[in-house]
Every structure is written in C-alpha cells, then in structure tokens.
C-alpha cells in the first residue's frame, strides 16, 4: 500500500470535516452531556470518582463515537461516490486507513476537550502514573475506530445500519473496553497493574488493525 493514497484519503476526510464539523460537534455535545449528567446524578466523592471515572469516560467516548461512526461512510454513499472510489486503482486498505485515522483524530479532539471538563466535574487527581493515560486513551480510541469504521463499512448496505453497528461493534470492542477501563482505573486509584492492561490494548490494536486491513478489500467490493 502506497502511503500517498492513504494521505490523499486522510486529507479529503479532514477537509470535509473541517467544512461541516458534523462529526466533532455531534460527538462533543453527546459526550459532554453524558459526563455532566453522570456527575449530577451520582454526585461522587473524590474516592468514588477515581473508581468510576475511567468507566464513565470510556463509555461516554464510545457512545459519542458511534454517532460519528454511523455517518462515517455517509458521504461516500451519497451520490454513489463509493462506486467511483471502487473503480480507481487506489487500494481499498488506504481508503480504510485514511478514514480510520481521520475518525481517530476527530475523537481525539473530543477527548482533549472532554478531559479538563472531566477533571473539573469529578474532582479528579490521579494517584498512579497519570502520563500513562496518554497511552491508554489513544490505544483505546484506535481500537474503537478501527473496528467502528470496518463494521460501519460492513453495514452500509443494510437497511437498519444505525442499529446494526452498535450491535456488532460493542461485543467485539469489549476486550478493549475492559483494557481501557481497568488501566484508567488503575492509574487513577494507584492500585492494580495498569501496564498489563495497556499491553493488552496494544495487542488488541495490532490484531484488529491487521485483520481489518486484510478484509477491507472484500468488504469494499461486496455487492
């Protein structure tokens, strides 16, 4: 796969999002709402916050990301652009990788905005190595995006695709979600082995990225 093709697709997706800001706006609004509502509903103490914050952050990101993933291929479906892309010599894997990285960047932007709000509302102070969160969030986000973009492509020809995507995606994402939550909780509470969970996340990312890249060409040209 030539990197030039991948960069072309990535640039296109970033340009399209820059003009509409559809994905980022919808994700940001949804994630902020979840974080604020949970904070108001439970009014957690500092100790409880450390226990539940990792889970809330991951689940908020996950649900927010699904709203964007449902639209990940919408622009390609409209006007049959996907057919035009299928007819070019550019490999399908580059299209997949470009779209995955673009969506990864959109979710990362949302997480960057969400993080200070999260710390403020949940009165968080990590007792473990806080810098490890810089590994946990990108690895977990990539796991979500690589599967999300793949399964969104798989479900584009189905009628109930907005329902189907979370139904397929969430069970597959459970090991990564577990890795994300457990490592984040370990970092925030200072208890448990965060590194082991981060390794699991890394392995999950490598395996699923490889499998998705190998299978995407088949998905792209399926009728």
Q: Name the site residues for other proteins (rule: CB under 8 A).
A: 2, 4-5, 8, 12, 15-16, 19-20, 75, 78-81, 83-90, 221, 223
Closest to other proteins by CB, 28 or 90: 90
Q: Least Å distance between CB 217 and other proteins?
A: 11
Q: Least Å distance between CB 22 and other proteins?
A: 10
Closest to other proteins by CB, 33 or 81: 81
Query: Residue 19: which residues within 8 A CB-CB, separation 6 or more?
Result: none
Side-chain-side CA neighbours of residue 222 (13 Å): 12
Q: Least Å distance between CB 23 and other proteins?
A: 13
Q: Least Å distance between CB 82 and other proteins?
A: 9
Whole-angstrom CA distances from 90 to 4, 19, 87, 195, 219 are 10, 25, 8, 38, 15
Alpha-carbon distance of 18 to 46, in angstroms, equals: 38
Nearest partner of 183 among 33, 58, 59, judged by Cα: 58
Closest to other proteins by CB, 7 or 126: 7
Whole-angstrom CA distances from 200 to 144, 177, 192, 193, 204 are 14, 11, 14, 12, 6
Alpha-carbon distance of 170 to 183, in angstroms, equals: 19
Closest to other proteins by CB, 45 or 158: 158
Closest to other proteins by CB, 90 or 188: 90
Side-chain-side CA neighbours of residue 57 (13 Å): 33
Closest to other proteins by CB, 5 or 204: 5
Nearest partner of 151 among 99, 75, 90, 113, judged by Cα: 99
Q: Least Å distance between CB 11 and other proteins?
A: 8
Q: Least Å distance between CB 223 and other proteins?
A: 6
Q: Is the dihedral of CA 143, 146, 151, 156 positive or negative?
A: positive
């Amino acid at each position: 796969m030539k990197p030039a093709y991948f960069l072309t697709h990535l640039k296109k997706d970033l340009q399209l999002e820059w003009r509409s800001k559809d994905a980022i706006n919808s994700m940001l609004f949804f994630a902020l709402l979840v974080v604020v509502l949970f904070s108001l509903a439970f009014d957690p103490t500092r100790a409880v916050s450390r226990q539940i914050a990792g889970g809330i952050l991951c689940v908020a990101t996950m649900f927010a990301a699904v709203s964007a993933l449902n639209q990940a291929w919408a622009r390609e479906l409209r006007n049959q652009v996907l057919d035009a892309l299928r007819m070019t010599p550019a490999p399908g894997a580059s299209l997949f990788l470009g779209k995955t990285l673009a969506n990864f960047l959109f979710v990362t932007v949302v997480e960057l905005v969400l993080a200070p709000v999260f710390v403020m509302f949940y009165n968080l102070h990590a007792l473990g190595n806080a810098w490890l969160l810089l590994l946990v969030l990108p690895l977990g986000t990539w796991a979500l995006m690589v599967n999300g973009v793949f399964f969104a492509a798989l479900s584009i020809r189905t009628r109930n695709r907005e329902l189907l995507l979370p139904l397929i995606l969430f069970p597959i994402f459970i090991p990564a979600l577990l890795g994300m939550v457990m490592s984040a909780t370990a970092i925030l509470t200072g208890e448990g082995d965060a590194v082991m969970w981060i390794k699991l996340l890394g392995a999950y990312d490598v395996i699923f990225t490889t499998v998705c890249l190998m299978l995407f060409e088949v998905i792209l040209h399926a009728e």
